[in-house]
Amino acid sequence: MLDRAHRGDILGALGTVPMFDTAPRLSVAAKLGTFLAIMGPGLVVMVADEDAGSLSVFAQAGENYGLKLLWLFLLLPVALFVNQEMVARLGAVTGAGHARLIFERFGRRWGFFALGDLLVLNVVTIVTEFIGVALALGYFGVSELVSVPLAAAALLAMTASGSFRRWERIMYVLVAVNFLAVPLLVLSHPRGGAVARSFVPGFSGRIDSTNVLFVLALIGTAVSPWQLFFQQSNVVDKRITPRWLKYERADTLLGTLVFTLLGIATVMACGFAFADTPFHGAFVDAGTIAHALSVRLGPAAGALFALALLNASIIGAGVITLSTSYAVGDVFGIKHSLHRGWRDAPRFHGTMAGLTAVAAAIVLVPHAPLGLMTTAVQALAGILLPSACVFLLLLCNDADVLGPWTNGRWLNAAATLVVVVLLVLSATVTITTLVPGVPAELLLVGLTAAGCLGLLVVLAVSLRGRKPTRHPLRGARLNWTMPRLESLPQPGRTRARMFGLVVLRAYVTLAALLLVVKVVLLTMG
């Protein structure tokens, strides 16, 4: 008869992690098997982040700016991993979704603000996914009146079975198809020397508010609020506990690397394909990218990009609708799990069906500026992200919620830096929209200096005083989970904290409204 350690090794190698299994993973095969069993939430959320909007913005970066923005891919993965590691930790330790934690720890008013931001952003983002479907199948001559309804039906079918494992396997297939960006890069005949030089930061030419808006959109494609809500709830739905958190971190890291690889491949493919051609700087939308690649690199390249766009649209729409249903279920206390089918959780699946129908209907409106709309949605994600990051940071420093799993000081510093960068970029877009004559270069330098000064103040406050005492439970934290959420003492609500949240909310609202104004002006101009 096998002892517990050997039984754990074999079960881990088979890719199953039963609840009674507490044996350590002693062999490489067992560790790999356990990783494959835990893998999913991090990989899926990152590859879904390579959705229609991201693919369109990355293609636009390559077509309009060549390789000049590749250096951002040295920074984006750091911001992406830091945020997603925090939500994965929150999900594993608390067993609660992100929306529920915000409601319980900050109150209904702030909870509805966060949920409202998510719903607005998710609806318009799902619209961009259906735009991607229409453009992708339009390349092959399929009418959007046919492609959009078919895609909507496919999305609902993916989650209707009530089987988490079946849904996850479908996601893995879509993840694999996203690697079409790699052969597309090969067809563009990349040159190593040009790639190496491109990782030196900076635009060539004048920096104006439109350029800053595009960089903000590029960041918004990498880190978006829906990702926070999705991964935390998906970790809970997959029943991952603190014992398996190191595997979930590895899953998140793998997803980050895949996202970065595919993003770089897309930018490089379009950068090399359109350099020194009439197509350079002439981006309209992702559909024109497919046709231009067909002209420059041959029909195979155009078809590859169109298929990649279709796949990215499907996986993105599927995950974003799911993140919305998770959040709504968290807030209103309804059944919300992929383990439940339509009969067992009708409102959970009904929320996904309603969002899908609304987004599909919007896409069918004729003569909409699809390319600009896609870029604007990604920029909106960048504007709303600081607010989501602040809630995330406060939750990850709440000792009642995370106990020995709270953030370290340097992780707080890295997360704060992400918020500062986003605020600087969104403030530049906001101010240049209000006062068009302000030089964007000087404004960007001034705001960056102010942001760095603010970050130094935060670091000084964080590092001041003695080294904190070791948490009494830190040595046994693998077995620590949050007590019942309702039983936790209410967090202290200082005037300074409330003032900061109010100011941030007012600024984010103003910035979002002015983004709409800027998009309208760009459409008219």
Averaged pLDDT in 10-residue chunks for the chain of 525 residues: 38 46 71 89 90 88 86 84 92 92 87 85 88 91 91 87 87 91 91 76 56 71 85 92 92 94 92 88 86 93 94 91 90 85 86 88 73 72 80 89 87 80 70 65 70 62 48 64 83 73 80 76 67
Inter-helix orientation angle 286-297/299-332, to 10°: 160
pLDDT at 465: 46
Determine contact, residues 284/73, Cβ cutoff 8 Å. no
pLDDT attached to residue 293: 94
**DSSP output for 15-73:** T---TT------SHHHHHHHHHHH-SHHHHHHHHHSSHHHHHHHHHHHHHHTTTTGGGG
277 three-class SS: coil
CA distance 229 to 381: 13
What is the model's pLDDT at position 71? 83
Where do the domains of the chain lie?
40-463+494-524
C-alpha–C-alpha distance, residues 159 and 353, integer Å: 10
Q: Is 340 helix (H, G, I), strand (E, B) or coil?
A: coil
Q: Do the Cβ atoms of 312 and 54 come closer than 8 Å?
A: yes
Place of tokens 């098997």: 33
Instruction: Give the other-Cβ count within 10 Å of 94's Cβ.
Output: 26
**Selection from 518, 420, 525 nearest residue 209 by Cα:** 518
3 state SS for 364-423: CCCCCCHHHHHHHHHHHHHHHHHHHHHHHHHHHCCHHHHHHHCCCHHHHHHHHHHHHHHH
d(CA 322, CA 148): 18
Nearest by Cα to 159 from 301, 34, 346: 346
What's the CATH superfamily of 40-463+494-524? Answer: Amino acid/polyamine transporter I (1.20.1740.10)
Whole-Å CA distances, 6 to 3, 16, 35, 62:
6, 14, 17, 52
Reported residue count of the chain is 525
The predicted pLDDT at position 435 comes to 64
Who's near 301: CB < 8 A, 6+ residues apart?
A: 184, 187, 188, 273, 293, 294
Provide the whole-model pTM. 0.84
- Whether 45 and 360 have beta carbons less than 8 Å apart is answered as no
Contacts 24+ apart (CB under 8 A), 277-282: 279/63, 280/63, 280/64, 280/66, 281/63, 281/64, 282/63, 282/64
Find out whether 302 and 293 touch, Cβ atoms under 8 Å: yes
Separation between Cα atoms, residue 413 and residue 161, nearest integer Å: 43
CA dist., res. 74 & res. 90, Å (int) = 26
